[in-house]
Amino acid sequence: MSIDSPSRQARRRMVAPLALMALLGAWAMRDAAGQPSGSAQTVMPTPGTDRPDRGDDARIARGRYLAVAGDCVACHTLSHAAPFSGGRAVQTPFGAVLSANLTPDIATGIGRYDGDTFYRALHEGIDREGRHLYPAFPYPSYTRLTREDSDAIYAYLRSLKPVSHSVDRNQLRFPFNVRALMGIWNMLFLDKGPYRPDPARSPEWNRGAYLVQGLGHCEACHTPRDALGGPRRDEAFRGGRFADWFAPDITQNRRTGIGSWSREQLMEFLRDGRNVHGGASGEMAEVVSFSTSQLNDADLAAVTGYITTLAPSPDEAPQSADKATIAKGEAIWLDACAACHRDDGRGVPRMFPPMKGNANAQQRDPTTMLHYILAGAQHRPTDDAPTPFSMPAFAWKLDDTQIAAVATYARNSWGNVAAPVQAPDVTELRRALQKAHAAMPTWPPAEAPSADLKRPGPSTLSSAETDSRDNGTSRAGAEGTH
């Protein structure tokens, strides 16, 4: 885990005022059409001069494996679209950033890149035309890659079938759409350079650090960020909010982190997407499905070996919940949750995650837990765990006060300790999910449901024909169409 040095902290204090000056002068960087200009143009090598020979099977195969380790397909592929053809939105506090087309199409992809310009994009966050990229593309992590690995990934991507897919990537509002401002951001937050092995550590540990800090870009989600979107590296891996999720603490804290997990249990989670402690859903389910479940045994052992050495985050003493809220939450738990997670919160390991001792339930930010309750969840199948267990959505059944109560109960029962959940937090997340998913029901309902006994209960907004295969998706609670 990297921690800011005094020199870096001093540099931030000196450079931060420049950000304000740059914002005030941003209008001057607009061209005649009123659009933000990029950074200074750089003379580029002739494109395509080192296009890999398709007979270079070993190099391409290595590149494919490294692209899997980096989970590239997840962000660079729209649902039902060609792999790596781009266009998927990555939500940030400053707006959505659309991923690039990574196929070797000349007009819309990386067909005009060569090995040098591709490496510069990974290493410095600069595209072929010399423009700054945004760190939604995690070049602050990819800068750790060796040139050899960069060239292998480039060879693999160049071996793909070109797909013509033009992506309008200029989605951010002014002044965040002024890419040149990223030069200041990089001065503050980019530690450029390949990973430097720690000679005091084993080769396996260093391999794990290289994968976690670099290709795996785990800090991109699991580390909190400041107001400028920069990682708080002195709090690395202690959990971070992104979009409508909170990536949990993965340090050795035994309450909110994974300190109670054995190395074998962590390896099982990364390989299968589940273990006796919980299951991977949402964004992490994609990481497991597309990436960690496909790592070879040596790399999986290296990743787990490194993660299990992360220093535990400081334990906090959260505010206690009032007895009335706990009592209300318990009643809702017994009615809506206990059938799967049991009265005692022990669940059914590897099927329905136990809430007793559940680190995800005890995070300082309850967003992910509330996301599950509102929208449901679904495990993605893997080769070793092919059954996609799911949790139904409760946005159609429980109001915001009820969801806050049952979440508070689960976060403070069976030995769990966490701050109470407030109803306005549920309301805010519900609105965000409604904006992202049109099928998410509003609350309170616009019309009271009929009482013709075709619906399960007086608060149910969905018909009896609800299709459980939609659990965990934006259509959860809607009438079945399969």
Tens-level pLDDT at each residue, the chain (482 residues): 444 444 455 455 444 444 443 443 443 333 333 333 333 333 333 333 344 455 589 999 999 999 999 999 999 999 889 999 999 988 888 888 899 999 999 999 999 999 999 999 999 999 999 999 999 999 999 999 999 999 999 999 999 999 999 988 777 878 887 888 889 989 999 999 999 999 999 999 999 999 999 999 999 999 999 988 899 999 999 999 988 999 999 999 999 999 999 999 999 999 999 999 999 988 899 999 999 999 999 999 999 999 999 999 998 888 889 999 999 999 999 999 999 999 999 999 888 999 999 999 999 999 999 999 999 988 888 888 888 888 999 998 899 999 999 999 999 999 999 999 999 999 999 999 988 776 677 766 655 544 444 444 444 444 545 555 566 565 655 555 44
Are 238 and 224 in contact by the 8 Å Cβ rule? The answer is yes
Q: Where are the domains of the chain?
A: 6-189, 203-307, 323-470
Are 302 and 205 in contact by the 8 Å Cβ rule? The answer is yes
What is the model's pLDDT at position 469? 59
Rounded to an integer, what distance in angstroms lies between the CA atom of residue 139 and that of residue 136?
Answer: 8
Residue 140: closest CA among 122, 126, 118, 128: 122
For the stretch 233-251, pLDDT in tens is: 999 999 999 889 999 999 9
SS3 letters across the chain: CCCCCHHHHHHHHHHHHHHHHHHHCHHHHECCCCCECCCCCCCCCCCCCCCCCCCCHHHHHHHHHHHHHCCHHHHCCCCCCCCCCCCCEEEECCEEEECCCCCCCCCCCCCCCCHHHHHHHHHHCECCCCCECCCCCCHHHHCCCCHHHHHHHHHHHHCCCCCCCCCCCCCCCCCCCCHHHHHHHHHHHCCCCCCCCCCCCCHHHHHHHHHHHHHCCCHHHHCCECCCCCECHHHCCCCEEECCEEECCCCCCCCCCCCCCCHHHHHHHHHHCECCCCECCHHHHHHHHHCHHHCCHHHHHHHHHHHCCCCCCCCCCCCCCCHHHHHHHHHHHHHHCHHHHCCCCCCECCCECCCCCCCHHHCCCCHHHHHHHHHCEECCCCCCCCCCCEECCCCCCCCHHHHHHHHHHHHCCCCCCCCCCCHHHHHHHHHHHHHHCCCCCCCCCCCCCCCCCCCCCCCCCCCCCECHHHCCCCCCCCECCC
From the centroid of its chain, how far is CA 16?
A: 27
- 323-470 matches 203-307 in CATH topology: yes
Are 303 and 208 in contact by the 8 Å Cβ rule? The answer is yes
- Class of the CATH domain delimited by 203-307: mainly alpha
- Side chain identity, residue 288: V
**For residue 314, with 0-12 CB atoms within 10 Å meaning exposed, 13-18 middle and 19 or more buried, which class applies?**
exposed
Where b means 16+ CB within 10 Å and e means fewer, 173-211 reads: eebbbbbbbbbbbbebbbeeebbeeeeeeeebbbbbbbb
**For residue 447, with 0-12 CB atoms within 10 Å meaning exposed, 13-18 middle and 19 or more buried, which class applies?**
exposed
What is the model's pLDDT at position 177? 78
Q: What is the CATH number of domain 323-470?
A: 1.10.760.10
Residue 31 structure tokens: 């061209």
Question: 């959990």: which residue's tokens?
Answer: 239
What is the model's pLDDT at position 445? 65
Are 436 and 475 in contact by the 8 Å Cβ rule? The answer is no
Residue 244 structure tokens: 């409508």
pTM: 0.81
What is the model's pLDDT at position 325? 94
